[in-house]
Structure 1
Amino acid sequence: MSPMKEDYLKIIFELGGTTKKVSNKRISIGLNIAAGSVTEMVNKLVEEGLVAHEPYSGVSLTPAGVKLAESLVRKHRIWETFLVQELNYDLPDVHNEAEQLEHVTSPKLLEALDAKLGHPTHCPHGGVIPTASGKYSEDSHTLLNDAPDGSVVVVDRFIDNHDLLTYLGDIQLDIGDKLKVIDHAPFEGPMKVINITDDQEISISYKASHYVFIKPVE
């Protein structure tokens, strides 16, 4: 399987495609690829039985697609964890390195890395790491943009995208931060939130707010 097809399966998994439909537009933004190219690749993945497509609703992973995506995500996120935890890589820089490393990683090496890291359950940007047997708790798929004004939420994870992670680093938004939503500007304007953890008010772009996932305050 080509690296590009693998990237599609991973982003569909990351966007919640194991349990719901994911739009071509969100795949396009997540991979920074033209919408026409997404349509072409989705059709190929449908032909291979890895995704199911419903017109005007989006795509989801088939059982075969889920199994393959879990394996790919496990490998990728274990490498990301190793790069951050053991080699002190900056978070925005780990994705491309992990992309290269995952394609030359044997099952034996992967399990050795997993053991060395203490069998992590989540990668540095908050994504779940499936176990070798495919077990994991489902990620949060609630978008920050969908949080109503006045609500208080916790940042749970970020989409694995270099530009996004660089941007979030610039505005000092971290996993685990507690946010109070002030308002959503109209016409795809930014969200205004108070980062309660850091005691500061920040604006988060419309696009970024669609790639930050949240959970309720416990």
Structure 2
Amino acid sequence: MTPMKEDYLKIIFELGGTKNKISNKQIALSLNVAAGSVTEMVSKLVKEGLASHTPYAGISLTDEGIELAEQLVRRHRLWEVFLFGKLKYKLADVHDDAEILEHTTSDRLMDHLDRFLDYPTHCPHGGVIPSADGRYEEDSHTVLADIADGQSVVVERFIDNHDLLTYLDDLKLKIGEELTIIEHTPFEGPVKIRLHKTKQEINVSFKAAHYIFVK
């Protein structure tokens, strides 16, 4: 399987494609690829029995696709924990090197890495890490953009995207942050939020608000 195909399985998993239908647009934005490329790759995944596609509804993973995605996500996120926690990488920089390492790692090395890291359940950007036998708690798939004005939430995770993580680092928005939605500005403008800890009010871009998951 090509690294690109693996990336598609991982992002569909990350966006909630184990239970929900994910749109081509969501995948394209998350992977920074053209819509036509998504259509082509989704067709390949469907033919291989790894995904199902319902026109005008979206894409989800089959049981086989979920099992493979879980393995890929486990490898990738364990390396992210190592790079961030042990080698002190910046959060926005862990993805690319984790991507290289996951493709060259044996099952035995992954098991040793997992034990060395004391069996982490989540990666640095909040994503769940499946155990060796496939056990994990399902992530939240509620995004900041869908929360009503006046409601308070806790930031649970971010999509693993370098540009997004760099942007959120500049905003000083972190996993576990409690915040209140002040306003969704019109015409796809930013979402204005207030951080509980510092009382600071900040604007989160419309696009970024769709890739910040909250509970």
What TM-score does the superposition give when structure 2 sets the normalisation length? 0.99
Q: Report runs of 4+ in structure 1 exceeding 4 Å deviation.
A: none
Q: How does 1:191-210 map to 2 (within 5 A)?
A: 191-210=191-210
Give, as a single letter, the amino acid of the residue that structure 2 aligns with 1:176: G
Map of 1:114 onto structure 2: 114
Once the 2 structures are TM-superposed, how far is the Cα of residue 111 of structure 1 from its aligned partner? 0.6
Map of 1:49 onto structure 2: 49
Once the 2 structures are TM-superposed, how far is the Cα of residue 198 of structure 1 from its aligned partner? 2.5
1:66 correspondence with 2:89? no
* CA distance in 2 between partners of 1:62 and 1:108 (Å): 27
Map of 2:2 onto structure 1: 2
* CA distance in 1 between partners of 2:16 and 2:200 (Å): 31
Q: How does 1:41-190 map to 2 (within 5 A)?
A: 41-190=41-190
Give, as a single letter, the amino acid of the residue that structure 2 aligns with 1:94: V
* CA distance in 1 between partners of 2:36 and 2:27 (Å): 11
Deviations 1:98-132 (A, max 9, x none): 00000000011101110000000000000000000
Q: Which blocks of at least 5 consecutive residues in structure 2 are unaligned?
A: none
Give, as a single letter, the amino acid of the residue that structure 1 aligns with 2:4: M
RMSD: 0.4
* CA distance in 1 between partners of 2:210 and 2:39 (Å): 21
Once the 2 structures are TM-superposed, how far is the Cα of residue 197 of structure 1 from its aligned partner? 2.0
* CA distance in 2 between partners of 1:172 and 1:200 (Å): 11
Deviations 1:67-87 (A, max 9, x none): 000000000000000001110
Once the 2 structures are TM-superposed, how far is the Cα of residue 199 of structure 1 from its aligned partner? 2.0
Deviations 1:21-61 (A, max 9, x none): 00000000000000011000000000000000000010000
* CA distance in 1 between partners of 2:56 and 2:171 (Å): 35
Once the 2 structures are TM-superposed, how far is the Cα of residue 63 of structure 1 from its aligned partner? 0.3
* CA distance in 2 between partners of 1:124 and 1:146 (Å): 24
Identity of aligned residues (%): 64
Query: What secondary structure does 1:192 align onto?
Result: strand
* CA distance in 2 between partners of 1:169 and 1:127 (Å): 17
What TM-score does the superposition give when structure 1 sets the normalisation length? 0.98
Residues paired across the two proteins, number: 215
Give, as a single letter, the amino acid of the residue that structure 2 aligns with 1:203: N
Query: What secondary structure does 2:153 align onto?
Result: strand
Query: What secondary structure does 1:197 align onto?
Result: coil
* CA distance in 1 between partners of 2:191 and 2:157 (Å): 17
Give, as a single letter, the amino acid of the residue that structure 1 aligns with 2:188: E
* CA distance in 2 between partners of 1:186 and 1:55 (Å): 29
Deviations 1:178-218 (A, max 9, x none): 01100001111000000112320000000000000000xxx
Query: What secondary structure does 1:72 align onto?
Result: helix
* CA distance in 1 between partners of 2:13 and 2:123 (Å): 14
